[in-house]
Amino acid sequence: MGLHRNEGAPVLPREPAPPSEREFTGYQRLVYREAGIWLSPAKKALLVGRVSRRLRELGGLSFGAYLRLAEEDEAERVRLLDALCTHETHFFREPRHFELLEREVLLRWRARGDTGLGEGRRVRVWSAGCSSGEEPFSLAMVLRHHLPEEEGWDIQILATDLSTRVLERARQALWPVDKSEEIPKHYLRAYMLRGVGSQEGKMKAGPELRSLVRFQRVNLNDGQGLVGRFDLVFCRNVLIYFDAASKARAVERLLSHLSPHGLLFLGHSESLTGPGWGVRTVMPTVYAPRLPVGGATRRG
């Protein structure tokens, strides 16, 4: 008996052929222009792996056709960047940064707040490259614990990312309960809710934390839509994806939004060396604006 084709079965799009060298160069230029991220030749496999799914969704589009679509369509460029971004993060990542906050910075802020001097009890924080939200909510726990609302502390945390997809996840403030192992027990008990019923196996930030954090898509390569200055700027493990020129542009934007008394936190493999940055080192990967000669001591 012969085999017959099942006429009712859907015909799935074939796997697209890998991009040609010319097409890959086009992707390199587009991603660098839009996001400041340089795709080295070693990243070609990453591009193929992460973009192929979108090509299948579009009915089996080729890499060349999709490149032309992304060049012409802003929404599709955002989807492309979403697909290429890497989003590895943890609660209380790089513990030394949080130790600095708890043991030194927040104690100084409390003392200054008690005197009624300076900016008082208003704190503004920017978490750049916030991914799925673990960093801004770690900051929310620390700040809320040490700077209670009932004592008049006004805390606002801006969480930004290039990827709209991970920002949507971060807004939900919902994570697998396994993530609870990353959170100090006293913070976990005070601020996290354990899911029940359909949410079993998950945890969610409590309302007192969610009220502190707002989310916004910000591209560090152009900085559009970002206003104001911040007492703390966290931009950790983001600059490693930039080349020297795009890193310089991003750091300039970060520092332009850092208040004169603020602190900039970078990732453990990132640093600002040389006099051109206009910062002083507080500890490895933590920086403050350099004080002018004869300048007053600042809060951070």
- Catalytic positions are 50, 161
Q: Helix 21-35 vs helix 63-72: angle between axes, to the nearest 10 degrees? A: 30
For 287, other C-beta atoms within 10 Å of its C-beta total 25
Euclidean distance between the first and the last CA atom of the chain, given in angstroms as a whole number: 81
Strand order across the beta sheet in which 174-176 lies? 174-176, 202-205, 192-194
Strand order across the beta sheet in which 258-266 lies? 213-217, 154-161, 122-128, 230-235, 258-266, 286-289, 279-283
DSSP string across 192-258: EEE--GGGTTEEEE-HHHHTTEEEEE--TTT-TT--S-EEEEEE-SSGGGB-HHHHHHHHHHHHHTE
Report d(CA 49, CA 42) in Å as an integer: 13
Compute φ and ψ for 107, nearest 5 degrees. -65, -40
Q: Helix 44-57 vs helix 63-72: angle between axes, to the nearest 10 degrees? A: 80
